[in-house]
Amino acid sequence: MNHDFSDAELEAFLEEALDPVRAAEIEQAARTDTSLLKRLAFLNRRRDHGAHSLAAIWRRFQVGVPTREEMGQYLLGILDPEHADYIAFRLDILKCPFTQSLLVELKAATNQAEMKRAKACRDSLYQSGTQIMGRTRKS
């Protein structure tokens, strides 16, 4: 059985740095394709012996992954268009798990901060309302 998995994809699979859909495809194929298993074993041995591809080095050191500050600016829509396009490319085309994880983390932090602000606002309004109602009753 012949599968079209590149060595770069298989190396990313071994490093658990491949997008989940493609990783599942490789895992499924490896269950029945002994030649694919042999390729994975070869790549794993090569990696263990210190031979690394350029792609593996980029993944290991997360070259090109935006910083938290850059990703925050991307979320706010204030990043220059060229840089924003690059981040969108990493998210949508490369499906970089590190970039995607950073995006999810910052969105969750933003949502949590918004919920805290909303609660503080509600609490403040409630406090004000009870104070006004207390003054009205005393009058």
Domains of the chain, by residue range, sit at: 1-63, 65-139
pLDDT recorded at residue 50: 67
pTM of the model: 0.51
In the prediction, which pLDDT does 2 show?
Answer: 47
Name the pLDDT band for 67 (thresholds 50, 70, 90). very high
Helix (H) or strand (E) holding 31: none
What is the pLDDT averaged over residues 22-49?
88
Taking the C-alpha atoms of residue 39 and residue 27, their distance in angstroms, rounded to an integer, is 13
Instruction: Give a three-class secondary structure readout of 64-89.
Output: CCCCHHHHHHHHHCCCCHHHHHHHHH
Percent of the chain with pLDDT over 90: 35
What are the tens digits of pLDDT across the range 73-111?
999 999 999 999 999 999 998 888 889 889 999 999 887
What are 69's two structure tokens?
């500050």
Q: What is the pLDDT of residue 83?
A: 95
